[in-house]
Amino acid sequence: MTDPIQLTADLIRCPSVTPEEGGALTLLESLLADAGFECDRVDRGAVSNLFARWGPKGHDRSFGFNGHTDVVPVGDESAWTKPPFAGEIHGGTLYGRGATDMKSGVAAFASAAIDFVRKTPPDGAIILAITGDEEGDAVDGTTALLDYMQAQSEQMSACIVGEPTCPDMMGEMMKIGRRGSMTAWFEVTGVQGHSAYPHRAKNPVPAMARLMDRLASHQLDKGTDHFDASTLAVVTMDTGNPATNVIPAQCTGAVNIRFNDLHTGAGLSDWLTDEARLVAEEFGVNIRTRIKISGESFLTPPGPLSDLVARAVEAETGLRPELSTTGGTSDARFIKDHCPVVEFGLVGRTMHQVDECVAVDQILQLKAIYTRILTEYFS
């Protein structure tokens, strides 16, 4: 049997701070190849990715797992009470960067898949798509793997993303969708002048304040059946002006929007651009707008895949997981165009924190859940 705890510790010892591979994918490739998986490195740009398949190519029953081995930086290493890349176990808890997000998830589904095909070779295929670019720009990670799969006529029938999804207790929540995410940056340009003679200047600051207030005061919606209300947060306003007797020429600001399935990135972009135009006309200034859409809202409707995962989770934990769309973005936003996808993983309370850690019994539970899912799917 493949030990998911030891594999998690071994992966933690690979310093794979995004986009560095750090040896993590090399370790997994060797392990999976020894178990009979066909493995291909799908590296693109500075990013390393791994595609692994057991079973026939193009089978109509091809169950997939997706995850990432890259991790966020450790920050102030002196603040850690345990070495961030040592993978040490203390009192039943495994410590290290990536312990929760999400080397434990990768170790759980890799070990479950390896043991499953060795014990009960399925009628179908199991695909593991593992990236090194989830914590970074996510441009050359899972998207590169999906591009490769399309070019090679590889297909997943369904997929689980092994991100940590449970807020406090193992088994309490799974994700069946995610809100969309976008950021808009505004640059207001007026005319610099002396603060004692404001009529000789065009102050960009009141224009920016008006724009931010209009955006933040607008109710985007009241939520939908599976999503909370969309939110807009003002995240910065700045002039870079240290002088109190100078009206600055420019002011910058930005907002971040998390939106549900009532909206699209394009529709919200049009609204933001129109609001900026109205304020520019009102104040006689110029407003330049730049928008980045990180991901669209999506939903995998409750059905066979979510039911399958929920049954396995309840059997192993005693909890029926809540079907949720909360949180930030994940690589499921790319996979949803390829096949039905849900997310289920560990308790994520310490992800990205100092002394990131995971209870070792949770790793064993997660492997058991993934094994049960594979057993029922191929039965």
Catalytic residues, by residue number, are: 70, 134
Length of the chain: 379
For residue 58, which amino acid is it?
Answer: G
CB 69 within 8 A of CB 28: yes
Q: Is the dihedral of CA 114, 118, 119, 124 positive or negative?
A: positive
In 3D space, the residue among 1, 24, 89 whose CA is nearest the CA of residue 361 turns out to be: 89
Residues pairing with 94 in the sheet: 89, 358
| Residue in 330, 350, 351, 353 with CA at minimum distance from that of residue 342 | 330
d(CA 342, CA 319): 17
β-bridge mates for residue 188, sequence order? 251, 287
- Cis upstream peptide for 156 (omega within 30°): no
| Element at 29 (helix H, strand E) | helix 24-34
